[in-house]
Amino acid sequence: MWQHLYESALNQPIAGCLLTAATLVWIGQRPQGLLRLLLMLFGVQLCLDNFLTGAWNPLPQHSSWNQPLAILFVILGDWRFFLLTERFAQRPVPKWQPWVVALAFALIVPVIQGAAIALFPQAFPTLRHTFLAYELLFLALAISWRAFVLPARLASTPHPVRNWLLELSYFEIAQYALWPLADVLILAGTDQGVEAGYALRLVPNTLYYGLFLALAAWRAPPDAWR
């Protein structure tokens, strides 16, 4: 039942788009500024993600565009997390730097995994193994980012903004911890494990497609909206 629901259009694009659309309506009522613009753009990206990688994907099943698009949306989804921190941590850096640095961090895991697949293809016998490896790599990156990068990034940032960005990092870590746990259950191979795994995957999917942007808007202090 849960696997069927997860793989159906009810999950993607319907539930994903409804979550994102509801979040966008609310964000649209927030103060004008860079933060609102970024969150709105990320919301549009998530809607495109749902349609182009979900059950209603208009592209043929074996289209050569499917994999590059899926990779692109994953990178953009990770980039939004790094960009918010890089852009709103108050540091004396050139205006272009947060955008480039955030993209560089978002590319770390795809590059490492791409190299691993090329060198050790036998370690990735199924797409689920590929997902699991990516999730574990990004989880390690997010934890390392929180432990070693954020303290320096936020050293001169006012406490309200600092606390907001720390909350986003904890949210991202929790989201990426749930995905590999679900995939381990699915790969265990038992009927109960597969069903439990797909049921659990619905939770981080909900966090990713709707609640991250909602949390970013809800917890953002007034200084972040200016």
CB-based burial label for 120 (10 Å; 0-12, 13-18, 19+)? exposed
Model pTM score: 0.93
* Pair of tokens at residue 202: 């619905």
Residue 60 has pLDDT above 90, yes or no: no
| Residue 11 near residue 42 (C-beta atoms within 8 A) | no
- Provide the pLDDT for residue 191: 81
- Name the residue ranges covered by the structural domains of the chain: 2-225
Long-range CB contacts (< 8 A, 24+ apart) of 71-78?
A: 71/110, 73/45, 73/48, 73/49, 74/110, 74/134, 75/106, 75/107, 75/110, 76/42, 76/45, 76/49, 76/106, 77/45, 77/46, 77/49, 77/208, 78/105, 78/106, 78/109, 78/138
Q: DSSP H helical segments within the chain, as ranges?
A: 2-7, 16-27, 34-53, 66-88, 97-119, 127-144, 150-153, 159-187, 191-206, 212-219, 222-225
Q: Mind listing the pLDDT tens digit for each residue in 184-226? A: 999 988 888 899 999 999 999 999 998 999 999 999 999 999 8
CATH H-level superfamily of 2-225: Rhodopsin 7-helix transmembrane proteins (1.20.1070.10)
Q: Mind listing the pLDDT tens digit for each residue in 65-107? A: 888 888 899 999 999 999 999 999 988 889 899 999 999 999 9
3-class SS of residue 39? helix
